[in-house]
Amino acid sequence: MNFVRRYLLPRLITYFLVIWVGITMIFFIPRFLPTDPVQQFINRLVAQGTYMDPKAIEEMTETLKELYGLKGSLWEQYINFWKRFLKGDFGPSYYQFPTPVIILIKQSLPWTAWLLLVTTLLSWIIGNILGGLAGYFSNRRWVKILDGIAMVIRPMPYYILALGLLILLAYIIPIFPIGGGFAIGMQFTFSWENLLILLKHAFLPALSLILIGVFIWFQAMKLVVQSVKSEDYVKYAKMGGIEEKRIVRRYVIRNAMLPQITGLALSLGQIFGGALITEIVFSYPGIGTLLYNAIFTGDYNLLMGVSTLSILLITTSILLIDLLYPLFDPRVRYR
């Protein structure tokens, strides 16, 4: 009972409060921007040559406001939004009207989710193992080599690294495709051959993310381990003649992992936001470009759909980590 009252309840209250504030903010902020979704839609229609006389434009503006749910005061729109949201409905996308937002998200999310999930986990695992070892055995030669590589890759702008990989492995040595998520002209059905095609298309974007990711985790972990290994209890363990492998695994890495676990939770939560630059450089289908287009075209509903799910995912993963933390860190205990 004490756990519920003193530990769980405050966290749950904060959790729902953050969600409410976040969603309220993403409802209001786009509406205060000068971008008008109705006008953006009409602009796209006429800018490319569709003939609309001025009178027709005025009539269409009214129709679209009605259809987009942009009539009425902000407060009315806000209430209507919550009514829809609680039923799991984000309304239609404006820039792909009248397709429901949820369909657009469903189409784009799996691409982003699997690419980012795999690369985030892989880079976290590899980066932490390498960083942990490098932090403990910091005087070894291989550590210095890894440090050198990290010094080159880590500060490199991601766009340049990604483009460099693309030019190297899709143009100079044309092993991988220039872009896209799946082979041109092929039917999208499940088979081993198609799985290989999917992997082939995901390889370069994944490689670019892993390269950067590994060295980010590597450097962070190395610093933490170096700090932990100078702690008294590590020195004491050494003096006590405990086997070095055990010291590294149980005493150093385990303790150094705590901030990394928090970092992983945050990274996983951010998956929903997509990897915009990756998707643009490798023309990889995903939620990033969808979100970018939503911002660019003033597509409030799509923006809200993606952001809301992102908020839910980030806050939920933080809540889960918060609840699970005592399992990892014996110093955190609820009374």
The correct pick among 18, 19, 197, 242 for binding another protein (CB under 8 A) is 197
The correct pick among 24, 43, 80, 227 for binding another protein (CB under 8 A) is 43
CA-nearest of 266, 154, 162, 278 to 212 is 154
Residue 185 in the binding site for another protein (CB under 8 A): yes
Q: What single string gives the DSSP state of each residue in 79-137?
A: HHHHHHHHTT---B-STTTTSBHHHHHHHHHHHHHHHHHHHHHHHHHHHHHHHHHHHHT
- Smallest distance from the beta carbon of 267 to another protein, in angstroms? 23
Q: How many helices (H) does the chain have, and how many strands (E)?
A: 15, 0
- Smallest distance from the beta carbon of 264 to another protein, in angstroms? 27
Beta bridge partners of 100: 92
* All residues at 6 or more sequence positions from 218 whose CB lies less than 8 Å from its CB, including other chains: 127, 128, 130, 131, 134, 146, 150
Of the candidate spans 10-18, 72-80, 193-201, 206-214, the one that interacts with another protein by CB under 8 A turns out to be 193-201
- Smallest distance from the beta carbon of 27 to another protein, in angstroms? 19
Q: Scanning residues 143 to 172, which ones bind another protein (CB under 8 A)? A: 163, 166-167, 170-171
Residue 189 in the binding site for another protein (CB under 8 A): no
Residue 179 in the binding site for another protein (CB under 8 A): yes
The alpha-carbon radius of gyration of the chain (Å, integer) is: 25
Q: Which two tokens stand for residue 229?
A: 């290994």
Residue 104 in the binding site for another protein (CB under 8 A): yes
- Smallest distance from the beta carbon of 308 to another protein, in angstroms? 18
Of the candidate spans 35-43, 69-77, 118-126, 139-147, the one that interacts with another protein by CB under 8 A turns out to be 35-43
Residue 81 in the binding site for another protein (CB under 8 A): no
Tokens 């809200």: give the residue.
304
